[in-house]
Amino acid sequence: MKKNVLLLSLIMAVSLCACSQPGNQTDTNTETEEEPVQVPEETEEEQEESQKKYDVEISEKLSDFQFAVNETVYQLPSRLEEWENTGWEYKRAAGEETLDSESFLEGEILEGEEGSLTVDVVNLEGEKKPLNKCYVGGVSLENKKDDQQVYQLPGNILLGSATLDQVTDAYGSPTDQYEEKDCIYLTYEFGIYKQADLVFDMEEEILQKAELKNYRQPEEEEAVSKEKPDHVKNYKAPGAFSEDITDFIVRYGGDFYKIPAPVSQFTENGWEINQEGSDSSVKAGRHGYVTLEKDGQTLYAVVNNYENQRVTVENSFVTNVHGDFDVTKVPIEIYRGITLGMGEETVKTLLEENEYQTEKNEEGTLYYIYTDKEQQNYTKIFVDKDLNLVRGIELSNSPEDIETDRESSAGDDRESVKASVMSGSDTLPGEESEE
């Protein structure tokens, strides 16, 4: 850690009474004994205002996931090596422990000269890596009385002093806001694995804690092909449902798609790419993420690139779509017209020629139709227990090889590519996350 610290405000100026200044003296011959000036003690509010603040260059946008610890600026995700170079130590990485591809460890501890930090360590590569070669993808920053560290967020937001109004002025309206016990919680989402949770005390509405997570692979200086690949050019949207549920045909928002489908097919149908929540490009043979918006609804989707070069996100393929009555309220219809609001008995009748698995929980029943032994490719239907109606539908299809998958479907135009997603995913209503 750097030793020399530039403080913007080290000492509060205390205004003294002007009883001895010219013009304020009493015009009298009577001698009076001058009382000593009483300097009031700082109140708790004044102590907060005198909190140390470092002069740092930091982004104005929360979606950039920059923050400062004292005078040092960090960005998520960033390699553990960069943290070590600024004085942090991750003791667990001293051994030979490795982390599987595209997986993460939550609640890990980094030790520094002035305290510790709780972080998430994530492997963003396509193969197993030693811990010391992984990234810090998440961090928990908390204002504590005995903590000498100063935490600053984008937009000049300081933990321990920024108010709720100041935060919403800087970042806009949150994705979600709720109260629990003595705290106010704000959530800002920027797509899959990219989220900020901010916690305020109820009484003063002062920012006390920030939990930042960005498990998205950072952009690299690599050539990006902007030409439309043949796989995208050759994609043909279906015009009707197939009698084979494993064809993964869906009518989504009124338009037919065969999943996986090019992102460009969605944009042609009126969807717009949210740049803050989307990768701008996807590495060769890897997956990425896109946030699509239409008519006030948002689809967070995994996308795959099965080309041998990096492509723009528009030329990658969406591998999963979902719709429900609670979050992603997009009209969705699948095999034989199964749709949201349909009765459970009707769904059973329509599925009777297919092999499916069921899973019951407190809220209802999940129906799964898998197409591979690893159970990565599936159609999922959630039926509400009380209503006995379909409340959520999801399709996910990411075969390993697109050409093999096309040949096996006998004239089918299915486009496919392997999608390996980190532990945890979007869930339908009634389904708990694996994270």
The whole-number average pLDDT for the span 410-419 is: 34
- What pLDDT digit, counting tens, does each position of 90-120 carry? 999 988 899 999 899 999 999 998 789 999 9
Q: What is the distance, to the nearest Å, from the Cα of residue 261 to the centroid of all Cα atoms in its chain?
A: 23
Among the listed residues 379, 377, 367, 374, the one whose alpha carbon sits nearest the alpha carbon of residue 430: 367
DSSP summary character for residue 33: P
Structure tokens at 102: 């595209």
The whole-number average pLDDT for the span 56-78 is: 94
**Coil, helix or strand at residue 306:** coil
The Cα 163–Cα 176 span in angstroms is 17
One-letter amino acid identity for 98? T
- What pLDDT digit, counting tens, does each position of 247-261 carry? 999 999 999 999 999
Cβ count within 10 A of residue 250: 26
Question: Residue 47 pLDDT > 70, yes or no?
Answer: no
Q: Is 125 or 29 the better-scoring residue by pLDDT? A: 125
Hey, which of 17-26, 36-45, 81-90 has the most confident mean pLDDT? Answer: 81-90
What confidence score (pLDDT) does residue 401 get? Answer: 64
Residue pair 234/413 in contact by the 8 Å Cβ criterion: yes
Does 130 sit behind a cis peptide bond, omega within 30 degrees of 0 on the bond before it? Answer: no
The Cα 419–Cα 68 span in angstroms is 34
Confidence of residue 81 (pLDDT cuts 50, 70, 90): very high
Q: Is 166 or 223 the better-scoring residue by pLDDT? A: 166
